């Protein structure tokens, strides 16, 4: 602690669980947007990940409220939001928005998989056959007319899900932006910043999950699909970064009484978290994604840069959530001092937080086994180290060519080149 703070500000009330809550809901919204780009806007190159995006969104969606509910002293009281609704409560809004969005995702997945469920129910034996039979809900008609209707319903739900996804995470930014007593939170840009960073993190998650799934299944990555996600991630990253910087520039330009406290926060209290982990990784990911767009760069390196950028952005957005949620509580209401955040291990600490971050992937593995999202007709690719002679990308001359070839050789020596090998 430093400066003057009030006694009730010594303890940080919203800790890592509340940091995780907006982070997970952001992943949900971003992954759903990728699916909608295919189903609504006809981006055919995203077809290989259209189902995976929905399954990933559902896996994270099932975990998203757990961190928030676990933060409550009596988690079962969360059900009171439904039993005794209060439409005027901004906090209660999450219960309504989350429930509505969960229904949309479940319905879209069911209509998308209905044909497969009927076939699996007829071909699978034993327990799984009974499970698939139950999941068909008795709708066994897979005629051309029925499937055409299913496609229309999926498109409608995808259209309806876009504003729902925006509300789901824009609402979180609204909660923080509406708290006038906190100078780090109270800005009309907060809902937009949260929404754009959600899209960025969701696309980044899908890139990483898609690459990992191809590695596990020993399939080759669809290069056009990966580069399409690269393009959308790069565009959304620009807007997310600009708005995050504009927020601080706007506070500095106004130079009102809270600006010295905010400036001290980001320059003396959380400088590493803010400038290096949050903004620094966004800038680095921006240039890596841009470098991956050049056709002169070997495809192996382009894939590596894209996937590495996705991982960096996931860490950057998590740091942004931490800097907003925890950082905003470090500034004293007196604007003359700062509190400290201690990293607990157990009670709302690092270990259970890591558990909540791993849990979506556990759910994803279970959902993938139940509802395989892989498109039919995918070609198998045996993951073997590839020599530089197999790369069909033209050689690049000069310093850039030396750098690219050096990175490519390093990847090969690490034994991970096979993950992005082009057949």
Q: What average pLDDT is seen over the chain?
A: 84
| Model confidence band, residue 390 (pLDDT cutoffs 50, 70, 90) | very low
The domains located in the chain, with CATH, are: 2-383 (1.20.1630.10)
- 410: pLDDT strictly greater than 80: no
Each residue's pLDDT tens digit, 147-194? 999 999 999 999 998 888 888 878 888 888 877 778 888 888 888 999
Query: What is the per-residue pLDDT for 411?
Result: 41
Q: pLDDT band at 2, cuts 50/70/90?
A: low
Q: In the 3-class helix/strand/coil scheme, how is the chain assigned residue by residue?
A: CEEECCHHHCCCCCCHHHHHHHHHHHHHHHHHHHHHHHHCCCCHHHHHHHHHHHHHHHHHHHHHHHHHHHHCCCHHHHHHHHHCCCCCCCCCHHHHHHHHHHHHHHHHHHHHHHHHHHHHHHHCCHHHHHHHHHHCCCCCCCCHHHHHHHHHHHHHHHHHHHHHHHHHHHHHHHHHHCCCCCCCCCCCCHHHHHHHHHHHHHHHHHHHHHHHHHHHHCECCCHHHHHHHHHHHHHHHHHHHHHHHHHHHHHHHHCCCCHHHHHHHHHHHCHHHHHHHHHHHHHHHHHHHHHCCCCCCCHHHHHHHHHHHHHHHHHHHHHHHHHHHHHHHHECCCCEEECCCCCCCCCCCHHHHHHHHHHHHHHHHHHHHHCCCCCCCCCECCCCCCCHHHCCCCCCCHHHHHHHHHHHHHHHHHCCHHHHCCC
Please report, rounded to a whole number, the percentage of residues in the chain having pLDDT higher than 70: 87
Would the pLDDT of 412 be above 70? no
| pLDDT in the model for residue 191 | 87
| Candidate from 67-76, 252-261, 274-283 with smallest mean pLDDT | 67-76
């Amino acid at each position: 602690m430093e400066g003057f703070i009030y006694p009730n500000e010594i303890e940080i009330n919203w800790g890592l669980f509340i940091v995780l809550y907006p982070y997970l809901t952001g992943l949900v919204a971003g992954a759903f947007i990728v699916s909608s780009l295919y189903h609504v806007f006809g981006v055919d190159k995203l077809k290989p990940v259209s189902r995976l995006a929905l399954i990933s969104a559902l896996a994270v969606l099932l975990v998203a409220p757990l961190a928030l509910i676990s933060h409550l002293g009596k988690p079962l009281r969360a059900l009171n939001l439904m039993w005794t609704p209060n439409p005027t409560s901004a906090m209660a809004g999450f219960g309504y928005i989350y429930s509505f969005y969960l229904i949309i995702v479940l319905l879209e997945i069911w209509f998308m998989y209905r044909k497969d469920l009927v076939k699996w129910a007829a071909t699978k034996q034993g327990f799984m056959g009974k499970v698939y039979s139950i999941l068909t809900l008795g709708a066994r008609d897979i005629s051309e007319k029925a499937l055409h209707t299913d496609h229309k319903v999926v498109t409608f739900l995808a259209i309806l899900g876009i504003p729902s996804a925006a509300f789901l995470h824009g609402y979180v930014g609204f909660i923080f932006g509406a708290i006038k007593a906190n100078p780090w939170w109270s800005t009309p840009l907060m809902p937009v910043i949260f929404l754009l960073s959600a899209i960025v993190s969701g696309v980044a998650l899908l890139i990483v999950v898609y690459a990992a799934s191809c590695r596990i299944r020993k399939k080759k990555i669809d290069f056009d699909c990966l580069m399409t996600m690269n393009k959308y991630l790069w565009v959304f990253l620009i807007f997310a970064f600009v708005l995050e910087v504009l927020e601080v520039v706007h506070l500095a330009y106004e130079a009102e009484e809270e600006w010295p406290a905010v400036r001290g926060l980001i320059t003396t209290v959380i400088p590493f978290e803010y400038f290096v982990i949050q903004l620094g990784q966004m800038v680095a990911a921006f240039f890596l994604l841009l470098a991956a767009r050049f056709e002169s760069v070997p495809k192996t390196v382009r894939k590596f840069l894209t996937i590495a950028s996705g991982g960096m952005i996931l860490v950057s957005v998590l740091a942004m959530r931490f800097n907003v949620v925890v950082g905003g509580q470090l500034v004293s209401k007196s604007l003359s001092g700062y509190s400290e955040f201690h990293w607990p291990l157990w009670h709302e600490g690092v270990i259970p937080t890591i558990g909540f971050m791993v849990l979506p992937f556990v759910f994803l593995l279970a959902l993938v086994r139940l509802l395989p999202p892989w498109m039919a007709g995918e070609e198998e690719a045996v993951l073997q180290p590839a020599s530089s002679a197999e790369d069909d990308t033209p050689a690049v001359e000069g310093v850039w060519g030396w750098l690219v070839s050096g990175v490519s050789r390093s990847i090969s020596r690490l034994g991970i080149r096979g993950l992005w090998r082009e057949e």
